[in-house]
Structure 1
Amino acid sequence: MTRTITVGLDGSPESRAAAEWAAREAALRGLPLRLLHVWQPVPGPAAEAAVSGAETQAHWSERVPREAAEELRLRHPGVEVTHEQVSGRPHEVLVKAAEDAEVLVLGSRGLGAIGGFLVGSVGLLVVARAERPVVLVRAGGQAADEHEPDRMGISSAATPYRPVLLGLDAGKPHDPVIEFAFAEAARRDTALRVVHGWALPPYYVYGLAAAPEVYHDVERQQAETLTQVLAPWREKFPQVEVVEEAFGGSPSVRLVENSAQASLVVVGRRIRRTPIGAHIGPVAHAVMHHCAAPVAVVAHA
């Protein structure tokens, strides 16, 4: 079965931006694009409303993916686009759809002048449960175009892609996350910037004032660890220029700060199958809510 780039579509500006991003990703990968609109029937007394109202709602729901598919076929003639409407609880349908997708793409609301994402409850549930990569896209110029601006400050398909930005814990690296980031950079023919934030072990902190060289020793060790982790991936993707950045501090803060110059931000999420539900993790959670660029959350064991 051929996997697809699948996008959850609800007619909002954010979901339309997600569909546009998904179409470009489908073109880069040579995969079909699937538009999925989830219609959740109105429960309880509202379900007994006039039939004409239900017909209107159903008609509108059917129009959303159909019209979006028509527009995307015009803008991306090389991409095979299908659309589908499914009834059910949105997060459950989308998590199920992710199983057959290379990537699941969702829209997120912007935080106004602050920038970044406001991830709704459906998006959070999907990211926390899906075991395939999930990309969150918000409406706006950077989501619409991942390219560097030219001398006139205008970005277009004629200018290079911005770098891909990867948040990586070099002490606990996970292959699916690293491979995803390298592959995305390779498809875009752009650089990969890898950010590794670290903290001093508690037993180092007390002796730091008396021996500041301890900090520099740890800094050097962390940089060497990052280089060693990335070495086999540099060999696998020799065409990708890699910029390494190991520093003492919060990785989420650095990722958010640098996201405005990135085409895509990539972070990992550990798969946890527990009775109390799924967990996203603090770095992924912060990045999802505040990065300016589209964010890919890649699940790993």
Structure 2
Amino acid sequence: MSREIVAGVDGSPESLVAADWAAREAVRRGLGLRLVYAWRSEPLNVPLDQDRARQDRMAEEVLRAAESTVAGRHPGLALTAEVLPDTPVAALLSTAERAEMLVIGSRGHGRVVGFLLGSHGQQIIAAATRPVVAVRTRDAAETDGPEGREGDGDAGDEGGEIVVGQEGGPEDSAPALGFAFAAAAARGATLRAVRAWSVPSLYAYSPASMALADEAGGLVPYEEKALREALAPWRERFPEVRVTEQVEIGSAGQVLLSSSGAARLLVVGRRARRGALGSRIGSVAHAALHLAPCPVAVVPHE
């Protein structure tokens, strides 16, 4: 079975913009789109109207309205929609297990305030085993062409530049790089691969690690070589994608944010291992999600 893109909808403007972004991405990649409305009726010890049939109708109406809007803007799209009787976090995580990616909406108010993910968004991104893309309402106007038309179904956000962060060895960033190359190929976009580095502290210094840097001609050439090696298999797989390599000293979060001012999409990795306090987003992904001026894809890796 071919994969599909999943988008969570709840009737909010944020979720509708996310659904439209997901629809455009599905069209580019030749994939289907599944819209999911998740809710679960739970008895409350308060005198509220809990007519289950009425609540079911409301959920169905919200979902069908979103489906109709997306279908009208993207008539050739293979589109399905369903109401899932579960909490939003559990339902979206379960559905995303079988998806190419999960797309969620996020409230955001520009470059200064950035993203306002909410508890559901943070839980989903921290626990997902598939890539999650967070899209703000503002992103539609900023990435949908010079006219700023919001979700009109055209290809106004084709081309441009996608930024991806690379760290560690080739295996560490392979999922994020693979996602970024595929996204760039689908758009005909340039890919900017960014590797941040810092001078080793006294405690991190070891003769073996510095010997490797010396062999490469210094710290900067060593970092440049590491980036080239990580990109090599993906350049071979996606020869049509134009790649700009960037190695810069500084923290990964700061370097990525300073490099993504004109990006159509920022792709970052997230280590998927659970810690003692549960799953976490990670500092780099956290900074990107809250401060990046474009949609952010968080790709988990081991």
Partner of 1:3 in structure 2? 3
Partner of 1:211 in structure 2? none
* Superposed counterparts of 1:111-260, under 5 Å: 111=109, 114-140=112-138, 142-144=139-141, 146=143, 149=146, 157=155, 160-171=158-169, 173-203=172-202, 217-260=218-261
When residues 232 and 60 of structure 1 are mapped into structure 2, their CA distance, relative to the original with a 3 A threshold, is same
Matched, 1:26 2:26: yes
When residues 20 and 11 of structure 1 are mapped into structure 2, their CA distance, relative to the original with a 3 A threshold, is same
- C-alpha displacement at 1:42, in angstroms? 4.0
Question: Secondary structure of 2:225's match?
Answer: helix
Give the fraction of aligned pairs with identical amino acids, expressed as a percent: 43
Given that 2:35 and 2:82 are in contact with CA atoms closer than 8 Å, whether structure 1 keeps it comes out as yes
Question: Secondary structure of 2:299's match?
Answer: strand
Partner of 2:209 in structure 1? none
Tell me the amino acid that sits aligned with residue 233 of structure 1.
W
Tell me the amino acid that sits aligned with residue 72 of structure 1.
V
The alignment's TM-score, normalised by the length of structure 1, stands at 0.87
Partner of 1:96 in structure 2? 94
* Superposed counterparts of 1:52-131, under 5 Å: 54-111=52-109, 114-131=112-129
> What is the alpha-carbon distance in structure 2 between the residues aligned to residue 221 and residue 55 of structure 1?
64
> What is the alpha-carbon distance in structure 1 between the residues aligned to residue 236 and residue 14 of structure 2?
37
When residues 147 and 170 of structure 1 are mapped into structure 2, their CA distance, relative to the original with a 3 A threshold, is farther
When residues 115 and 188 of structure 1 are mapped into structure 2, their CA distance, relative to the original with a 3 A threshold, is farther
Tell me the amino acid that sits aligned with residue 281 of structure 2.
I
Q: Any idea what the Cα deviations from partners look like across 1:212-257, whole Å, max 9, x if unmatched? A: xx9x931222122212221222122111110111111012122223
- C-alpha displacement at 1:159, in angstroms? 7.0
When residues 230 and 50 of structure 1 are mapped into structure 2, their CA distance, relative to the original with a 3 A threshold, is closer
Given that 1:147 and 1:263 are in contact with CA atoms closer than 8 Å, whether structure 2 keeps it comes out as no
When residues 89 and 101 of structure 1 are mapped into structure 2, their CA distance, relative to the original with a 3 A threshold, is same
Question: Secondary structure of 1:77's match?
Answer: coil
Matched, 1:38 2:35: no
Tell me the amino acid that sits aligned with residue 296 of structure 1.
A
The alignment's TM-score, normalised by the length of structure 2, stands at 0.87
Given that 1:39 and 1:87 are in contact with CA atoms closer than 8 Å, whether structure 2 keeps it comes out as yes
- C-alpha displacement at 1:274, in angstroms? 5.0
- C-alpha displacement at 1:186, in angstroms? 0.6
> What is the alpha-carbon distance in structure 1 between the residues aligned to residue 233 and residue 29 of structure 2?
23
When residues 99 and 154 of structure 1 are mapped into structure 2, their CA distance, relative to the original with a 3 A threshold, is closer
Tell me the amino acid that sits aligned with residue 189 of structure 1.
G
Tell me the amino acid that sits aligned with residue 4 of structure 1.
E
Given that 1:147 and 1:161 are in contact with CA atoms closer than 8 Å, whether structure 2 keeps it comes out as no
Gaps of 5+ in 1: 207-213
Deviates more, 1:108-117 or 1:129-138: 108-117
Deviates more, 1:252-261 or 1:15-24: 252-261
Question: Secondary structure of 1:260's match?
Answer: coil
- C-alpha displacement at 1:30, in angstroms? 1.1
> What is the alpha-carbon distance in structure 1 between the residues aligned to residue 157 and residue 288 of structure 2?
26
> What is the alpha-carbon distance in structure 2 between the residues aligned to residue 145 and residue 35 of structure 1?
23
Deviates more, 1:85-94 or 1:159-168: 159-168
Tell me the amino acid that sits aligned with residue 15 of structure 2.
S
> What is the alpha-carbon distance in structure 2 between the residues aligned to residue 115 and residue 251 of structure 1?
20
- C-alpha displacement at 1:99, in angstroms? 0.7
When residues 126 and 160 of structure 1 are mapped into structure 2, their CA distance, relative to the original with a 3 A threshold, is closer
Gaps of 5+ in 2: 206-213
- C-alpha displacement at 1:18, in angstroms? 0.3
Question: Secondary structure of 2:247's match?
Answer: strand
> What is the alpha-carbon distance in structure 2 between the residues aligned to residue 3 and residue 295 of structure 1?
21
Partner of 1:209 in structure 2? none
Q: How many residues align?
A: 287
